[in-house]
Amino acid sequence: MSIASGFISRHTISDPRNSRADLFSVIAKYSEKLTAGEGWPDGVDNLLKELGELLGVSRVWIFQIMKLTDTHIVQDYIFEWSAKPEYRQIGMSRFRMFTNRIGNDEYRNLLESRKRGEWQAVQASKLDSGFLKEDQIKQGIKSMLTVPLFIENQWWGTLGFDDCEREYDWGMEEISLLRIAATVISNAILNNKLKAKKEQFATLQSISDGSLWSLDLNSWHISITSGFLDIDQTPRQSDEFPLRDVLKMTHPEDRKFLLDSFRQGAKSGRYRIRYDTRIKAGEGQYRWVEVIGNAHFDTNGLPTLLAGIAIDIIDRKKEEEKLREAASVDPLTGVMNRRAFATRMEGLIREARDNSQPLSLLMIDIDHFKVVNDRWGHHVGDQVLIHMTAIINKMLRKKDFFARYGGEEFVVILPGVDKELSLQIGDRIRQSVAVSPCVLDEREVAFTISLGCASRNRNEDTSAKGLMLAADAALYQAKKNGRNQICC
């Protein structure tokens, strides 16, 4: 005998048994309670108990699928009611996160039937010899009914009824009502999952300041829960906008990448979104946000929704900026360091070449700086370095780039400045330093600087290295000529 299985709609209900009004009443009672979110998980235990007692079976149970592959299924025994202690199985090692190998057609067909949403009714004595009959006899089961549980269109687990005393012939009225009970349990499980997700998000929001978002791929409307992304500062439970309105609030530099991320997710359904972007929030200021999400699918496997969380990461960005500054700023003088100079020099040389613009470089060295350190001490030498950089900073434009190259050597990049003008700028810097001694505790420490200048003309293809070598050679010449001067 094969396993009886199928969908309720494919059978005619003609059960001559007594009325199942009590069964229907129990299901209706727990449907109201569990749908309202009351009594989880005790409500499920109580429902299984009342169903088992009304049906007169030995055991009612729920298996949850933890993992399903082509070769194995991993399940956990999560709920059980038993009529007698000897029928109790929950807690037994063989039913705790147990794995079954899908090694024969009988078991594979059984699982495929459940995946399709079909119920199965068996009487052990009428089964053909095989895996299932052996398993039923081993557990002392004479008859069994199983109904699959579905959560969000996926087979989530199985509701089962075992009778260890009778070979019970399940009627279609009973099966149809127990299918309803399975739906009630599925909805309770889903409600509990949603409740858990809400609690998780509330916790996450309390510690990270975040908002939930979802993008409908049919209307291309995006919904954002109230939170730090309140767009117009109007109190409400959720905000829904056309995607184009949200893109208008996104920083111009970030719009294309964010839109491309959404399009890729809509196109493939496999794309996982994780992107840092700047969005203008209710106060009108751009805020750094980490957008995380993935796709949700319909029954045909097509993506219909992108959804996730947007987390305020302004503190993280501030910390990242501090780390970047620490890696590129000279801690003593506050000007950029040699590493930052090398990167910026390459970029400005490239811009000058692309735009056919001149560019000049000044190399600066404090004259006899070793004497300052030897006479006054290194702490005074440090103050001289700070004093000199303050003087030079005041004389530069915003687009000029000033950096400490090493020790008492500094460099200044002058974009758009030719050789003649760079000589004038360099000499003004030299004169200002010469007449501005460093004053410490009513003590004046006078010092001078020497400068080397190198320039590229509009159409010259000078490299950053070539310009550095030329400026260094000019600086050497200035020192050789007696210091406190500029050579080019």
Residues of the domain holding 55: 4-194
For helices 338-354 and 464-480, angle between their N-to-C axes, nearest 10 degrees: 110
- Cα–Cα distance for residue pair 347/369, rounded to 1 Å: 32
254 in a structural domain: yes
Cα atoms found within 13 Å of the Cα of residue 380, Cβ hemisphere only? 20
125 falls within a domain: yes
108 and 34, same structural domain?
yes
Q: Name all contacts of 103-111 with Cβ < 8 Å and 24+ positions apart.
A: 103/71, 104/130, 104/131, 106/130, 106/131, 106/132, 107/131, 107/132, 110/3, 111/68, 111/73
Answer yes or no: do 178 and 233 share one domain.
no
Whether 345 and 302 map to the same domain: the answer is: no
Do 290 and 179 have their domain in common? no
The reply to whether 427 falls in a domain is yes
Number of domains in the chain: 3
**Domain co-membership, 251 together with 382:** no
Domain boundary among 144, 166, 194: 194
The domain that holds 127 is classified in CATH as 3.30.450.40
The domain boundary, picked from 293, 317, 341, lies at 317
483 shares its domain with 362? yes
Domain identity same for 417 and 301: no
Looking up residue 266, the CATH number of its domain turns out to be 3.30.450.20
202 lies in some domain: no
Q: Is residue 12 part of a domain?
A: yes
Q: Are residues 147 and 246 in the same domain?
A: no
Specify if 204 maps to a domain.
no
Instruction: Choose among 9, 3, 34, 29: nearest CA to 189.
Output: 34
* Secondary structure letter of residue 354 according to DSSP: H
Beta-sheet strand order (sheet of 273-280): 238-242, 221-225, 210-216, 303-312, 286-297, 273-280
pTM of the model: 0.51
Q: Has residue 323 been placed in a domain?
A: no
Is the peptide bond between 303 and the residue preceding it cis, with omega within 30 degrees of 0?
A: no
CA distance 425 to 305: 60
pLDDT for res 113 = 93
Q: Are residues 480 and 403 in the same domain?
A: yes
Regarding whether 337 and 276 lie in a shared domain, the answer is no
**Tens place of pLDDT per residue across the chain (488 aa):** 456 665 544 433 334 333 568 888 888 888 887 876 666 678 889 999 999 999 999 999 999 999 999 999 999 999 999 999 999 999 888 888 889 899 888 889 999 999 999 999 999 999 888 888 898 999 999 999 999 999 888 899 999 999 999 998 888 888 999 999 999 988 888 888 777 777 776 776 666 667 788 888 888 888 887 655 554 445 444 467 788 888 888 899 998 888 888 887 777 655 678 889 998 876 678 888 888 888 887 777 788 888 888 888 888 888 888 887 778 899 999 999 999 999 999 999 999 988 899 999 999 999 999 999 999 899 999 999 999 999 999 999 999 999 999 999 999 999 999 999 999 999 999 999 999 999 988 789 999 999 999 999 877 778 889 999 999 999 999 999 999 999 98
427 with 336, same domain: the answer is yes
Residues 402 and 363 in one domain: yes
| CATH assignment at residue 343 | 3.30.70.270
